[in-house]
Structure 1
């Protein structure tokens, strides 16, 4: 059994590492192309406006220098593949989570239909009503929500994977634990900073009255204090309940 778990951990590491490495290369390529095109000296005024407000709808011009006339078609295929991949993974994840936590007692096809509709329906409704601009705004809103919720998923994961009472001999090594916490808190601090600056910028430049701005600012400050306090509570909360059960090696497995 121990050998099977070690093999599973190794294959999972290879699979996750390969997927993250490919995603890293794609992100580097996107940033490099955008930076090289938008920082060019001979950029037209129209393309300068595009670079200042770069969205999924007008990003095809970044590929014209390399792909020519076929840039729009290739970009559309890439967006379609990316959307299908995200939809499939997100839908399946939502379905499995809802099945496990809610323990839905119904026919399999009805359960699959309900859980997948719940996962797809919000984005589909926004896309139909708001069009491309609504979809772009939805992406920004979802990104902000994910950055807000990130600590509540990342911190328990780091504590769980580095705990001997939870993982036993399969816990992370000291080096991996330290590096993970440093990177995790770096990402969390960046997200909190951008959440605060984005909200502050919106509040300052809004057309609300001064009284409304003051009240909203006070409420936001209290909520942010609770948010940061919850993060610190998750970080320093001690969990001594042992869930790892050590089993004897079974040569017949």
Structure 2
């Protein structure tokens, strides 16, 4: 079953609405049972663990919030994909408020010139993050440094500003013998890199034709140009611990 944006299914006496969103993953979605007034929110929140704001950073956080709140009321049962808690509109509102406060605390520390290690250790940030532990899970902070890093690298560390026309220079399909093609496309004003069975991530400009891959252990990519200044290839530099490293690593030539 495939759908692009929205789909409605009639099943017995129930109407089920499915809606695609770029949130926790690029192929995420929410499911709403109209008669039962139940919404399945997926991994956009995790009652038992911290979670990143979304594949497009805080932009995804904003997107999924708008779409979820458009489908619920004060009586809706909201079911996350993991954890024990079934929450309601009030709890979700408070959760999102605390998540934004956590983000804002890191932004403040960043402006003050604090290192990542100092930000990870900040007691105020940890106190706010504790409020996101809806299941009172003792392992709630197990991935704290990782999810803190996604906030800092993704949204707080300001990228080099590129216009849409500059970003469009990188769009296209790139190929290397014996490896799946890499596709670079534009979505919501941000560049995405995709390779079948390997990676899908937005990439963040940081220096010249260099970009940081915002997926965990994604590493960096550098676009190469010819003498006329045209983009002709992409060279990938995944982290040593990255999954599918052999498939993804190398120089891929841009197809005409």
TM-score (ref. length: structure 2): 0.25
Structure with the larger helix share = 1
Structure with the larger strand share = 2
Larger RCO of the pair (alpha carbons < 8 Å, separation 6+): 1
TM-score (ref. length: structure 1): 0.25
Q: Which has the larger radius of gyration?
A: 1
